[in-house]
Structure 1
């Protein structure tokens, strides 16, 4: 393993543990030493990778917004190059967001609690990336449900995100079924929400 790849892996480890600790105890409830201990290095050793906790928080929140958008664009490009129907692309987008909602729950909690702690430029970047992600979904939803007007499609996309992103609130032991069962349930609920919104608009 090269020194560069090892350094990147360590950065990822630090970010993962920082996200978990920030979500559990709040941004101000976690010290640099605790994050370092979680990955097996000294607190001061973290400064070889990040300028401080603020930099970690910014990379976490900007990073996940960017990854969601990039992933959505990749799924759209693959579907369109393969000639897939809009229905299949919508299913793919839902599956991608469900993976995030189930596998990155600490980041959902961080976004809800700590977004306002980012400096203005980082917060604006997060919002910009999120708007692009929403609009990607809106375009696909309107391809699947042509009768749905743009404002209704956008509102429904936001509502579906709220539904999928509710998983951190179900984190008590035994509150969630197995991952496969939960993913299937979330997918069914998301598609049901879009179908209900479309049928209501057509009524």
Structure 2
């Protein structure tokens, strides 16, 4: 028997390879749906070998959660203090695009970190936001400097949320130009064609609807995987076993929430575009409706966005199709308003607009007001280049 050449099959950067593969799996599948076996297979090693580097899935996840922000901090620290906004945002864009496949866990999955680890992560991101805000304040002083900085980072971070195929150089150019427009701001307020009426969340009149209404804030606060059937039953005054008369599994409740979100958003789109003929006005109406929807249905939106990746493929497919149809409406109107864009560029910008809403909304703690809706809508319109 010949001994295996261990040294030849164990690369020195194996830990780095594990973290990169795990970041991709966590981003694609979600923290709870991903398994150590799946991550090990992505690296080409056994789960036993994986545990030599990380004692458990949480330890690996925590490492992944810090990799991207550590790269951002290091990249910005290498820039001279006098670096301009284009240099600063360009450096951030380069890191985000290079690691787009593993960066998606930051937007939603980081909430599964322990409080102490989450605080450390926030502190690192605060350094990135602070550096960008400093340059925005120096070059484009005015109202909402930090909000504009955060929104610009939302533009760049949006690249981790989709898989649109576009040449890397062109992708970086589109993202950077969009982020610079957002960071610079504009003096004029967005003119919406007319007030956009948003559909209301259905009143829970049946026991099934009551269970769904109670589940949404629990899923949004704690994450789907952490919420128990006992919590759901207690929220509506039922015994846990009684839930099964209305939903066969907890996953069915999540699917119902995602379908409700997709239905409300589709109604908002239809109402916003009704009788709007000018393409630019149509895009502004879409932006206004999406911002309003996000502020009005924050918990429902966060559940639908955060949890869909962890659903089984057959249950996720209708939701993915609904997302694609929604994006297609934006893309069509944006190309009419900006004919110079090709479909790939338009799609990247649509996602950039969504990224603005998420990050700006979080910065505003989703406090709903006409002023906040107007400010975020204007940032979205700037991201789109209208």
**TM-score range for the pair, normalised by the shorter chain length:** 0.7 to 0.9
CA distance in 1, matches of 2:204, 2:299: 23
Q: Which residue of 2 aligns with 1:117?
A: 310
User: In structure 1, which of residues 5, 8, 18 is the aligned counterpart of residue 215 of structure 2?
Assistant: 18
Aligned to 1:138: 331
CA deviation string 1:84-134 (max 9, x = no partner): 322332222112211221122223432444223312112111111111110
Residue of structure 2 aligned with 1:79, choices 272, 275, 289: 275
Cα RMSD after superposing both structures? 2.6
Counterpart check, 1:60 vs 2:260: no
Residue number in structure 1 paired with 2:40 = none
Question: What is the aligned partner in structure 2 of residue 186 from structure 1?
Answer: 376
Report the counterpart of residue 69 of structure 2 in structure 1. none
Q: Say if 1:168 and 1:22 are closer, same or farther in 2 by CA, change over 3 A.
A: farther
Match of 1:38 among 219, 224, 235: 235
User: Measured at CA, do residues 44 and 27 of structure 1 come closer, stay the same or move farther in structure 2, by a change above 3 Å?
Assistant: same
CA shift, 1:176, in A, is 4.9
Alignment CA distance shift 1:42-1:20 (3 Å) = same
1:74 deviation in Å? 4.3
Q: Aligned residue for 1:102?
A: 295
> Which structure has the larger Rg over C-alpha atoms?
2
CA-to-aligned-CA distance 1:119-152 (integer Å, 9 cap, x gap): 2112111111111110101111122222222221
How far did residue 6 of structure 1 move?
8.7
Normalised to the residue count of structure 1, the TM-score between the two structures is: 0.77
Q: Distance in 1 between matches of 2:218 and 2:204?
A: 21
Residue 108 of structure 1 contacts residue 168 of structure 1 at CA under 8 Å; is this kept in 2? no
The aligned length equals: 185
Q: Can you give the 5+ residue segments of structure 2 that lack an aligned partner in the other structure?
A: 1-201
The answer to whether the 8 Å contact 1:142/1:149 transfers is yes
CA deviations 1:141-194 (Å, max 9, x no partner) are 1222222222211110011012113366447xxx45552221111111011111
1:72 Cα deviation after fit: 1.7
Q: Are the structure 2 counterparts of residues 91 and 9 from structure 1 closer, same or farther at C-alpha, using a change threshold of 3 Å?
A: farther
Q: Deviations over 1:70-93 (max 9, x none)?
A: 4323433x225xxx3223322221
Query: Does residue 1:92 correspond to 2:285, yes or no?
Result: yes
Q: Distance in 1 between matches of 2:357 and 2:283?
A: 14
Relative to structure 1, the CA distance from residue 116 to residue 51 in structure 2 (aligned partners, 3 Å threshold; closer, same or farther) is same
1:164 corresponds, among 357, 370, 374, to: 357
- Counterparts of 2:204 and 2:362, CA distance in 1: 33
User: Could you say if the C-alpha distance between residues 63 and 177 of structure 1 is closer, same or farther in structure 2, counting changes exceeding 3 Å?
Assistant: closer
